[in-house]
Structure 1
Amino acid sequence: MRYMVTYDLYESIRNTNQWLGATALAMASYPATGLVAHPAFQLMAAWGEVTERTFSRMVAKPDWNINSVVGQDGRDHVVQIDREVKRPFGDLIRFEVLGRPEKPRRILLVPPMSGHYSTLVRSTVQSLLPDAEVWVADWHNARDIPVSMGKFDIEDYTLYLMDFMRHLGPDTNVIAVCQPAPLALAATAYLAELEPEAQPRTLTLIGGPIDPDAAPTDVTDFGRRVTMGQLENLALQRVGFKYPGVGRMVYPGLAQLSSFMSMNAERHAKAFSDQILRTAKGESSDHDKHNRFYDEYLAVMDMTAEFYLSTVERIFKSREIARNEFVVDGHKVDMGKITSVAVKTVEGEEDDISAPGQCLAALDLLTGLPDEKKAAHVEPGAGHYGIFAGKSWRNNIRPLVLNFIDANAGPAKRKLSAVT
């Protein structure tokens, strides 16, 4: 399955389904069908509309769609996205709110690289912007990166995070969501040991697999059952001729999406069948609840093969972070070197991806950090998505995180300047 033809076959299947949906919609919407008052045409058109939209958004990166923020003066302030650090596999972008004084809270939000684009945390960014200056690590789709740009594994990911932290300076508050939590912890420890003046002020880890064995889930069980050889031979493919990354070994986003969907197959099937019926009745809209969710959920990106394999082998199987044996660029990272960065873990009681206990394990690794700089929160009834982008985040977790940042603010280490 490593050959380019396999990757192109997946793309052909997706493209064919998109075409079938568009064809069904066009045929059932032909004016002549109005002469026959039969619901079959309405259902056919509705199926076509939903199917075309479903398969077309799988290859399009969603837009951030964050255009303005209401300031304390009651005015709408335009939001401008600036790329401050550009790298082949990911950029550091800033959501600059024009026309307002710079906020003292400076937040680096690190989204997961687990098959979805960084826009997965769009609502998280929107909720933070009124009260903070926000930067986001914007990861790139591996299929769009030429092979000549080299490799990208979890060590490179960690080095990228260190570069972003250096750029932002010591007044930064890092929030890592899900997959990057262990690597953000490692990057902070690396800086704490070798470049303490560049380490962030606070680190908030949300639903991340610091120790996958602390509370096993279907995700961790899969990592245990499947051998690295099986993963390499069955999950990886080479990017086909359609994209700039032709020939690059990747774990395709469509394969990751299939595994995501299969975990809750019945719920997704019902969601789409209900949407088809609503569309047939004229009750759906371009930005209804279903489309808002699936426009983001179905937009997937490829991961480099080395990133995917090193994540499974070193984070889940060998548990290098959990055992404090993680090595970056030939240097063994010691989590105990973190002595001044306040660290908070956030978990969801009903999280079926990173169950409660996996993220909390980070605090046990921080042997050099005083207890008063450690904090933990388990959100009752919250699932994985809810702890960083859902109602639980908006109503409970966000205020707790901002209070944690403020409680550990200390004296400013850099001069703030007005945003123009």
Structure 2
Amino acid sequence: MRYMMTYDLMESARNTNEWLGATARAMASYPAFALSMNPMLTLAAAWGEVTERTFGRMVAKPDWGIRSIVGPDGQDHLVDVQTVVERPFGNLVQFFVRRRPPMARKVLVVAPMSGHYATLLRSTVASLLPDCDVFVTDWHNARDIPVSAGKFDVEDYTLYLAEFLRHMGPDTHVIAVCQPVPLTLAAVAWLAGEDPDAQPRSMTLIGGPVDPDAAATEVTDFGRRVTMGQLEQLAIQRVGFKYKGAGRLVYPGLMQLHSFMTMNADRHSKAFSEQIMRVARGEASDHDAHNRFYDEYLAVMDMTAEFYLSTVERIFKNREIARNAFTINGKPVDMGKITQVAVKVVEGANDDISAPGQCLAALDLLTNLPASKKASHLEPGAGHYGIFAGKSWRLNIRPLVLRFIDANSAPPAKAEAPAAKAKPMISLAASN
């Protein structure tokens, strides 16, 4: 119960700050106070507006906001987000473009489950839509999933991906971003052993920790320093009574957000101070650069405790993927069984989350995959965000990925059957 109390205490603090911001904005904007001409009232109203919005969006799931795209015919095509496969902990959704025939490229974008919603990849999806049929893994907030739905750990995550790939069929191309890279690799290896015909044509693995020890970062250092007991004691709480998942053990999104913010506290503090001044001067807008970024960045979701803890223990501490020792329900998942799926690794030279080398380790695990089906790209000057949604993605990486997809779209050649005994050839000329 004390974990429920601390969870509710965090939510109460968030709610109180949102209320304080709304109150300050309303009070300082009271018409009668305008007679005083006191600039502090304007600043108080601006502080209240920024504070209310900041704490309010922490519990709101952002909208995809992709309304339409321009087709090759120059016409706008409306986009519908449709659920294709519905599961308790996450859905497979399709961005269905109206009045457009199926595209040659069918892409599954595997979104991270690392504190933010799948909408973090909004710009990635929007950039792919004009050229591809796009599907995305849309993970659910653990606080909204009843305890009766059961557990969800790294093995369940991997089986979800395998199920989604089975549904989409073998002509699929996978793009995995950040956290799900090692588990996507495991899902395809699982299919290679259990259902080879369901394997995708290609995988593009972008900035993921396949081997966390390949290059140290602050994230890997933390994983080494803390023990599992300490992590469970410090990070895990029970969802409070306000949500459907009451009683479920989770790593709360608000705690994750605190970790995100403290990593670059000075930069975030400066960003909010400058935004308050812009609001006070009347220079801010609802969709300015600050709000576009923080509407997404501050929207956090709870992770199930078992998923978070098993990720730290099995992926980071024990390096099960890196050692090719990952198992599902006790059965080994052998990366060496991947023999037909083309794999491209993309890393950013300045990535401080998954440093160069961590994702590249995937190619060494694919011992039975021909060298012709392996590729890698290191983007100069790119950080973690840039390799899937920033300038580097838009200008360099996206074209590389599309060319890689096109180069590996043909079905893999099947082994020829033993030649039958030759029969005498009949000449049509002779028969005439």
TM-score normalised by length of structure 2: 0.95
Would the aligned equivalents of 1:108 and 1:172 in 2 still touch at CA under 8 Å? Answer: yes
The whole-number CA distance in structure 1 between the counterparts of 2:72 and 2:360 is 36
1:331, CA displacement in angstroms? 1.3
Correspondence for 2:327: 327
Q: Where do 1:285-324 residues align within 5 Å?
A: 285-324=285-324
> In the alignment, what sits opposite 1:9?
9
Moved over 4 A (4+): none
Matches within 5 A, 1:12-411: 12-411=12-411
The one-letter code of the counterpart of 2:296 is: E
Residues in 2 aligned to 1:389 and 1:92: alpha-carbon distance in whole angstroms: 21
Q: Which deviations, in whole Å up to 9, do the C-alpha atoms of 1:16-74 show, x marking residues without a partner?
A: 00000001000110101211112111110110000000000000000011110100000
Residue of structure 2 equivalent to 1:416: none
Which secondary structure does the structure 2 equivalent of 1:324 belong to?
coil
In structure 1, the residue matched to 2:418 is: none
RMSD: 1.1
Aligned to 2:388, the other structure's residue is in SS state helix
1:346-373 Cα shifts (integer Å, max 9, x gaps): 1111111000000000000000000110
CA drift of 1:265 comes to 0.6
- For 1:57 and 1:412, the matched residues in 2 are separated by 47
Displacement, 1:412? 9.7
| Letter of the structure 1 residue corresponding to residue 322 of structure 2 | A
Q: Which amino acid counterpart does residue 3 of structure 1 have in structure 2?
A: Y
**Structure 1: where are the runs of 5+ without partners?**
414-420
Residue 143 of structure 1 contacts residue 239 of structure 1 at CA under 8 Å; is this kept in 2?
A: yes
Q: How far is 1:398 from its partner?
A: 0.5
Percent identity, aligned pairs only? Answer: 75
Q: 1:189 to 1:58 in 2, by over 3 A?
A: same
Does the 8 Å CA contact 1:2/1:233 hold for their aligned counterparts?
no
Letter of the 1:183 partner, please give it. Answer: L
Question: Alpha-carbon deviations, 1:252-273, whole Å to 9, x = none?
Answer: 0010111111111111000000
Deviation at 1:411, TM superposition (A): 4.6
What letter matches 2:221 in structure 1?
A: D
| Partner-residue secondary structure (3-state), 1:3 | helix
Q: Give, in angstroms, the shift of residue 106 of structure 1.
A: 0.2
Q: Which residue of 1 aligns with 2:420?
A: none
Superposition deviation, residue 2 in structure 1: 5.4
Whole-Å Cα distance in 1 between the matches of residues 388 and 245 of structure 2?
31
Secondary structure, aligned partner of 1:143 = helix
2:371 maps to amino acid: D
Structure showing greater radius of gyration is 2
Paired residue for 1:417? none
Paired residues of 1:2 and 1:249 also in contact (CA < 8 A):
no
* Secondary structure, counterpart of 2:129 in structure 1: helix
1:151-199 deviations in whole A, cap 9, x for unaligned? 0000000000000000000000000000000000000011112211000
Query: Partner of 2:423 in structure 1?
Result: none
Q: For residue 378 of structure 2, give the secondary structure of its aligned residue in structure 1.
A: strand
Contact (CA 8 Å) 2:116, 2:301: kept in 1 or not?
Answer: yes
Deviation of the 1:238 alpha carbon: 0.2
In 2, the alpha carbon distance for the partners of 1:103 and 1:319 equals: 38
Question: For the residues of structure 1 that align with 2:240 and 2:207, how far apart are their CA atoms?
Answer: 34
Alpha-carbon distance between aligned partners in 2 of 1:38 and 1:375, rounded to the nearest angstrom: 63
Q: Is the 8 A contact 2:172 2:202 kept in 1?
A: yes
| Shift, 1:229, TM fit | 0.1
1:11 is paired with a residue whose SS is helix
On the 8 A contact 1:174/1:204 being kept in 2, the answer is yes
Unaligned runs of 5+ in 2: 414-432
Is the contact made by 1:117 and 1:301 (CA closer than 8 Å) also made in structure 2? Answer: yes
Letter matched to residue 9 of structure 2: L
Paired residue type of 2:398: R
2:177–2:206 CA contact under 8 A, matched in 1: yes
Structure 1 CA distance, aligned partners of 2:390 and 2:46?
A: 29
SS in 2 for 1:93: strand
Mapped partners of 2:315, 2:301: distance in 1: 21
Q: What's the TM-score once normalised by structure 1's chain length?
A: 0.97
